[in-house]
Amino acid sequence: MTELITGLDLVELMLRVASGEPLPITQADIGIHGWAIESRLYAEDPYRNFLPSTGRLTRYNPPEEKATPELVVRNDTGVYDGGEISTFYDPMIAKLCTWAPTREAAIDAMAVALDSFEVEGVGNNIPFLSAVMAQDRFRSGRLTTGYIAEEFPEGFAGAGLDDTTLTHLAALACCSAFALETRGFAGGATLAMHHDARDRAVLIGDRRWDFAVSADGIEYWLTAPDGKKLLVESGWKPGMSLCIARVDGVLHHVRLDRRTAGWRLRYRGADLTARVLLPRAADLMVLMPVKLPPDMSRFLLCPMPGQVVRIDVAEGDIVEDGQPLAIVEAMKMENVLKAEKRARVKTIRVKPGAVLAVDEVILEFEGL
pLDDT at 191: 44
81 CB contacts (<8 Å, ≥6 apart)?
57, 59, 60, 61
**What is the rounded distance in angstroms from the CA atom of residue 205 to the CA atom of residue 285?**
12
Helix, strand, coil percent values for the chain (each to nearest 5)? 25, 35, 40
244 CB contacts (<8 Å, ≥6 apart)?
116, 234, 235, 236, 251, 252, 253, 254
**What is the rounded distance in angstroms from the CA atom of residue 363 to the CA atom of residue 220?**
54
- What is the residue extent of each domain of the chain? 34-151, 163-287, 299-366
- Amino acid letter at 101? P
Please name the CATH architecture into which domain 299-366 falls: Beta Barrel (2.40)
Q: What are the strands of the beta sheet with 333-338, ordered from one edge? A: 333-338, 324-330, 306-311, 355-356
User: CB–CB of 73/65 below 8 Å?
Assistant: yes
User: CB–CB of 188/178 below 8 Å?
Assistant: yes
Count, residues in the chain: 368
pLDDT at 196: 57
- Amino acid letter at 157? A
Please name the CATH architecture into which domain 34-151 falls: 2-Layer Sandwich (3.30)
How many alpha carbons lie under 13 Å from residue 284 in its C-beta half-sphere? 4
SS3 221: strand
pLDDT along the chain (368 residues), means of 10: 90 94 91 95 92 90 94 94 85 95 96 96 95 95 92 92 96 92 61 63 94 90 92 91 94 93 93 94 89 89 91 95 93 88 94 92 90
Q: Which residue stretches of 162-304 are H helix?
A: 163-182, 279-284
Q: Do 163-287 and 299-366 come out as alike in CATH topology?
A: no
Q: What is the CATH number of domain 163-287?
A: 3.30.700.30
